[in-house]
Each structure stands twice: as C-alpha cells, then as structure tokens.
Amino acid sequence: MTLLEEARKQLSQIVKNSGWPDNETVSIVSARDLAPEEAIGRPDRDDYPLLTGKEVMMEARFRDGIGQAFTDQAGRFTGSIGEVLQMPLDTNFRRAVFVATLNAVMRSLGQVAATVHCKDKEPAMCAKQLPEYIKTRYKQPKIAFIGLQPGLIQALADAAFELRVTDLNPDNIGQIRCGVRIESAVQNVENARWADIVLSTGSVLVNDTYRELEQGKPIIYYGVTAAGLAKMFDLPRICFCGR
C-alpha cells in the first residue's frame, strides 16, 4: 500500500468518525489551479516556480478549511468528499486533488496549520529562519535539497551550507541558481546517500517519488503540500510563514 493509499484509508475513517455522509451537500470539495498572484502574491524575487509557470497551486475548500498542494498538472474539480475518497490516485492531478483535500479537511478539524502558501514578503521571512533552524538541530550538515525553492536555497548557500540541489524542470537542470548548479532529479538517490540531511518539497509525496529519498538520513519536508501527510504519518515538516 502506498503512502497516499494509506492516507486515503485514514481520511475515510476521519470522515466517518466526524459523522459526515459521503454525499452531504455541505461537504463539497472544490479544487482549482490558482493564478500566481493568488498563490504567492508579490514576493521579493521573480524566480519562484509559481511565478515561472512550471507549477501551479491546487486549492481545495472543505467547510471552513482551505488546503493547498503543488502540482505540475493544472485542472479543476468539484465533487463530494465521497467522490474524492473513491478517486483513483493514478495521475499527478488526481493525487494533488486528494492531498489538497486532505489538507483542507484536517485544517477544518484544527489538526494542522499552515495549509495555505505564504505571500508577498513572507517567503523571504521564511527563508531567513531556515539556516538557524538547521544549525540548531544538525550543526553544519551536507544538505540534499529537492526542488528549486530559490529563497530557501539562497539562504542556505549564504550560510555556507554544502548543498546539492535537484529539480524536475528541464529548464533549470545544469543552470546555476542561487550559486548552486541544479542537477536532474535522477540524482536524488545518490544525493540523499551523500547528504547528512534531506530537505524536500512535499511534491514528492504527490508524484510518488518520495521513496527515492529514504536512504537512512533525516528527511524534512518544507511547504504546504505535506501538511496533512506530515501530521498523519509523523513526518518532520517546516513551514515557518504558511497561513
């Protein structure tokens, strides 16, 4: 059973325990791809993936909860919570709908926080907190960084951490970003073995590549995507300025 399949099983039990019928009319989940400004506002730099058009933010709303998830497959979905629980998890779009919904449901129950991406000046504020967080817990480790999150990478590079960064976007591979050469995601296994710790986008939980990172090193997920899954499976997660 995959992580998302186990999560679906647990989410189904959460819904049942909450007394929500699968077809309850107020239990409608809406997911849509957000425009860049909706998702991240006007940050201090223009090279975030949400602004370059290579990824979109999926947003789900369930009762008073809002949950988001990154995905490379844009689309829209509206249906009941029961339909989400029955949806095949066979594409990045469907997995993103499920993960965003999971985040929204757990947010509505008060079980998780920071399920909505930070905006405007907040991404820079988040990045400033990361080096001290790492130093306090791991001293000066070698870091395998998964996903091109330029603010966080720049902060770590400025703090003289030894970094290897991978990304899925072919436009970035081989390029120097934030003083670091970006490698292909095919290097994830090797880099995770090389590193002392792994900092990873929660997107690997959506596209089902997270197992590549499990090389016996601490893995810390960053961002909103991993909110519900991190809580459900006790996975370390940072999201200093998420809403």
Whether pLDDT at 120 is above 80: no
240 and 219 in contact (C-beta within 8 Å)?
no
What domain count does the chain have?
A: 2
Whether pLDDT at 65 is above 60: yes
Domain hosting residue 30, numbered range: 3-108
| 154 in a structural domain | yes
| 113 in a structural domain | no
pLDDT at residue number 37 = 54
| 78 in a structural domain | yes
Check whether residue 128 and residue 233 sit in a common domain.
Answer: yes
| 116 in a structural domain | no
Q: Is residue 145 helix, strand or coil?
A: strand
Q: Is residue 178 helix, strand or coil?
A: coil
Check whether residue 127 and residue 233 sit in a common domain.
Answer: yes
Summarised one tens digit per residue, pLDDT across range 165-211 is: 999 888 889 999 889 999 999 999 999 999 999 999 998 988 888 99
State the Cα angle at 222 between 220 and 224, rounded to 5°. Answer: 135
Summarised one tens digit per residue, pLDDT across range 6-20 is: 999 999 999 999 888
What would the DSSP string read from start to end of 39-100? Answer: HH-S-S-S-SHHHHTS-EEEEEEETTEEEEEEESS---EEEEHHHHHHS---SHHHHHHHHH
Task: Give the CA count within 13 Å in the CB-facing half-sphere of 211.
Answer: 5
| 243 in a structural domain | no
Check whether residue 97 and residue 154 sit in a common domain.
Answer: no
Q: Which pairs with CB-CB distance under 8 Å and at least 24 residues apart come from 8-11? A: 8/85, 8/89, 8/98, 10/232, 11/85, 11/101, 11/102, 11/105
**Which of 108, 133, 158 delimits the end of a domain?**
108
Check whether residue 103 and residue 127 sit in a common domain.
Answer: no
